[in-house]
Amino acid sequence: MAVKIRLARGGAKKKPHYQIVVADERCPRDGRYIENLGQYDPRAEKDQITLDGQRTLSWLNKGAQPSEAVVKILRREGIWSTFKGVKQA
């Protein structure tokens, strides 16, 4: 079972709101997930992001693969550089 960290879309038509979730890659985008790590609202001023950094690092260390969009969010929050530093040491 391959585990991915990806965005699950919610909200109304033309008003997206995303959850950052850990899910089996075989599950649909908005389907069942293992754990909810945070939220991302691209419509808010300055892209509002709420993310549990410790749980995210834990899943990354366990081998979960983030999607490209999630990698951008992790870089913006500084979690990606922390993960790369932890992994190299």
DSSP per position, the chain: --EEEEEEEEEETTEEEEEEEEEETTS-TTS--SEEEEEEETTSTT-EEEE-HHHHHHHHHHTPEEPHHHHHHHHHHTHHHHHHHHHH-
**Span 21-26, mean pLDDT?**
90
List the single range of 28-32, 60-64, 66-70, 83-87 with lowest mean pLDDT: 83-87
pTM for this one?
A: 0.84
Average pLDDT over the chain, rounded to an integer: 88
**Topology of the domain covering 3-88:** S16 Ribosomal Protein; Chain: A; (3.30.1320)
pLDDT at 1 over 80: no
**Span 10-34, mean pLDDT?**
89
pLDDT at 89: 42
**Span 62-89, mean pLDDT?**
85
pLDDT at 23 over 50: yes
